[in-house]
Amino acid sequence: MPISGTSDTHTEDYWSKHFSYLKQLIEENGKLEARQSGPLRGEVIDSIISDLLCSPIVVADLTDMNPNVYWELGVRHSLTNRTIMIAEHGKKPLPFDLGHYTILFYHEERLKEMEFRRQFREALEDCLVNPCRPDSPVLNALSGRGSLSWRLQHAETLQRLDALLSELNTHKESYGHLQEIYERHPKHEKLRTFPAFRFRTPATELLITHRHVEGSEVLYDFAETYYENMIKTNESITLWPAQQADVEKYLSENLSLISRTIDGFIGLVKSARQRVSEAVA
């Protein structure tokens, strides 16, 4: 609330008495201690911002639309919930932005009225009992379906799925090269060449660990199986020069199967990407 006078009737002395009454009302709840914010000057701002972040509850009196109060309210709304807004009834119209949020109104010379006291106590208790109940326009805009945060999250998911598709298409091409090397290997062991590449799987690992596509258990199960196949294939490529018979037996039994697995995985990822894309549109 303001510290200095904000109008002819709302003097510095008025706000001092106003705070004293609210302090008494707040501290009726034994879990709370009321403190007033300081003036916005220099390094004091650091302390004010810290208080706005750490205070379990902030009460903002919007009467007379004091700039400092609205600045502090904006900071608080940017940081967390548990903010109670109050104002004197019949004074300057409050900003449209706050019209959808609960504001407790009191009448001049009637701050002690029973209805306001009851509502104020209930609001304090609700902040303690339901600390995650949303009351910040900023945080509401940054969370929930259709919000900025939601859209950014889905945009990131699309980027990750695109990276996964790129990874799988590279694997498909590399598997083609691997199959060519295997099929044209000469019978004379001394003339054989072996692949130098390996199958890198960062996008697949990210999908498995972060599970960033909602409702895609089949996709995750497939990804885990695919990842295990890639590990075995990389191990086989590494062992190929030293254990040619065993590795070539593995390749003969699994090359076609893994190639089909890549195609199946690509199909699942494309379907998942389509669902995410449609949700964002």
- Whether the CB-CB separation of 37 and 44 falls below 8 Å is answered with no
pLDDT at 186: 67
Is the per-residue pLDDT at 40 higher than 60?
A: no
- Whether the CB-CB separation of 106 and 88 falls below 8 Å is answered with yes
pLDDT at 261: 93
The H or E element that residue 85 is part of is strand 83-88
The H or E element that residue 188 is part of is none
Token readout for 119 is: 């509502």
Q: Which residues of 105-133 are buried (b: 16+ CB within 10 A; e: fewer)?
A: bbeeeebeeeebeebbeebbeebeeeeee
- For the ranges 77-81, 199-203, 265-269, the lowest mean pLDDT is seen at 77-81
pLDDT by residue (tens digit) across 145-161?
677 767 777 888 999 99
Q: Which long-range contacts (CB under 8 A, 24 or more apart) does 113-117 make?
A: 117/25
**Percent of the chain having pLDDT more than 70?**
90
Q: How far apart are CA 106 and CA 113, in angstroms?
A: 8
Q: Which residue has the tokens 């548990």?
A: 82
pLDDT at 1: 61
- The SS3 of residue 107 is coil
Is the per-residue pLDDT at 279 higher than 90?
A: no
DSSP assignment letter at 36: -
pLDDT at 90: 76
Is the per-residue pLDDT at 101 higher than 90?
A: no
Q: Which residue has the tokens 């900025």?
A: 148
pLDDT band at 33 (very low <50, low <70, confident <90, very high): confident
For residues 222-227, give the mean pLDDT. 94
pLDDT band at 280 (very low <50, low <70, confident <90, very high): confident
pLDDT by residue (tens digit) across 199-224?
999 999 999 988 888 777 899 999 99
CATH fold group of domain 12-141: Rossmann fold (3.40.50)
If one compares 267 and 106, the residue with the highest pLDDT of the two is 267
Is the per-residue pLDDT at 41 higher than 60?
A: no
Compute the mean pLDDT over every residue in the chain, rounded to the nearest whole number: 86
If one compares 103 and 142, the residue with the highest pLDDT of the two is 103
**Percent of the chain having pLDDT more than 90?**
39
- Whether the CB-CB separation of 191 and 254 falls below 8 Å is answered with no
Q: Which residue has the tokens 């003339």?
A: 191
pLDDT by residue (tens digit) across 159-197?
999 999 999 999 999 999 998 888 887 666 666 788 999
Is the per-residue pLDDT at 50 higher than 70?
A: yes
- Whether the CB-CB separation of 95 and 37 falls below 8 Å is answered with no
Q: How far apart are CA 143 and CA 53, in angstroms?
A: 19
